[in-house]
Chains A and B, each alone.
Chain A
């Protein structure tokens, strides 16, 4: 059976058994998307490259930890891979002092790396919710709630960083994000697309 005919799930399963050719195929199929996730969060190509590298070394070592089902709900391999990359990106973000980092190359570092036409975090959240058909459900949230959730998710910002960027009180941001997560869970459950 050629590698091209294998699903991503099968490739990850074979990677877990030490099949390096399948691991290479996992990389080839997903790198552009995962690099996009890392770049979106970190804002700089070099940092995103480092994170992607660390993420794939981790995937090679821990492919056996991928579970295709959690509590009876299927877990798409891509969502697992994205979680690995996001966790590495969050580690990288925590390791650097964001303020110091942003002062060195200028506040437009994100635009430099991702292109001036890159969609905003809120645009991405809108696109994701449309693709998942939960737009109407999530639309019940106030704009501030969606904005804070989008900044935390797509840019890896902390509560205080979201508060600073939005010019809003920290307590309000925490409540907005909490409500956004609750609503997201309810919307996905109603659509039957996630646990």
Chain B
């Protein structure tokens, strides 16, 4: 079935949005939704109509644990930088470790950490911790056409998170959103992430900065209306991508 009949499309979209389209028919329709913009539009219209009915449902406060769970799942960086949970000690029992032994081990490790940090961390990190050096990072200072600083972009060399900090007032684009692009010396530009209008934003990169940015010389910001732009539009801000090591 090609689902070309407007009446059939309307019927399927309405029953899909209502939820009565079930089983194999629903799964087939969901597959078609991935491919057909007309079906997505019809569903969006029905979801909008039916959503109006949903506003009559009596409110009921959700327990705080729901937000705690949502928060934990949507803050990857915060979660990653939070102190690691203490490992449960149960696994030690089969080896007949005593708590005293564990404490002694921790003490010995602490002494070694202070005396010979190179055993635990890289020389670069040790230098950074002692204030002798900044961490190896990729950084970019982006300015507008007048040369006024607007954005500071930074990412650890072997990290997969990128921070974009607003350092000068930014006028929101008339349409769409601001997008940060990496422009390699050779090859097409690619999207690095969204640009906040104020404050700073951190986004997850698809790989390490070293993998993505080692051959990138320039960073640009464009205003894009497309949710998944494939090439940069008119440049709003630009700057060089530098290696901080």
Contact = CB atoms under 8 A, between A and B. Distances in A.
A178 B8 CA distance: 12
B19 A156 contact: yes
B48 A70 contact: yes
B22 A94 contact: yes
A57 interface: yes
Contact of A17 (B45, B47, B194): B194
Interface in B49-63: 49-63
Contact of A35 (B18, B54, B55, B62): B62
Given A35-B59, A36-B59, A125 B45 contact: no
A25 B196 CA distance: 17
Nearest to A83: B47
A98 B76 CA distance: 35
A188 B52 contact: yes
Contacts of B19: 86, 90, 93, 152-153, 156, 158
B130 interface: no
Q: Which of B48, B52, B69, B194 has the most CB of A within 10 A?
A: B48
B119 interface: no
A145 interface: no
B75 interface: yes
B52 A128 contact: yes
B41 interface: yes
Interface in A21-47: 23-24, 27, 31-37, 39-40, 45
A57 B74 contact: yes
A143 interface: no
A140 interface: no
Given A24-B71, A31-B66, A153-B50, A19 B55 contact: no
A124 B50 CA distance: 13
Interface residues of A, number: 70
Contact of B49 (A19, A34, A159, A194): A194
A31 B194 contact: no
B44 A75 contact: yes
A79 interface: yes
Given A20-B74, A79-B47, A153-B18, A193 B52 contact: yes
Contacts of B208: none
Interface string B9-24: 0010011011110100
Contact of A195 (B49, B53, B54, B194): B49
A49 interface: yes
A165 interface: no
Contacts of A193: 52
Complex A-B, nearest 9 residue pairs according to Cβ-Cβ distance, in ascending order? A79-B51, A128-B56, A83-B47, A82-B54, A32-B59, A35-B62, A127-B56, A195-B45, A82-B51
Interface of B: 11, 14-15, 17-20, 22, 26, 41, 44-45, 47-63, 65-67, 69-71, 73-75, 177, 193-197, 199, 201-203, 227
Interface of A: 16-20, 23-24, 27, 31-37, 39-40, 45, 48-49, 52-53, 56-57, 60, 64-65, 67, 70-71, 73, 75-76, 78-80, 82-83, 86, 90, 93-94, 114, 118-119, 124-125, 127-129, 131-132, 149, 152-154, 156-159, 162, 177-178, 181, 184-185, 188, 193-195
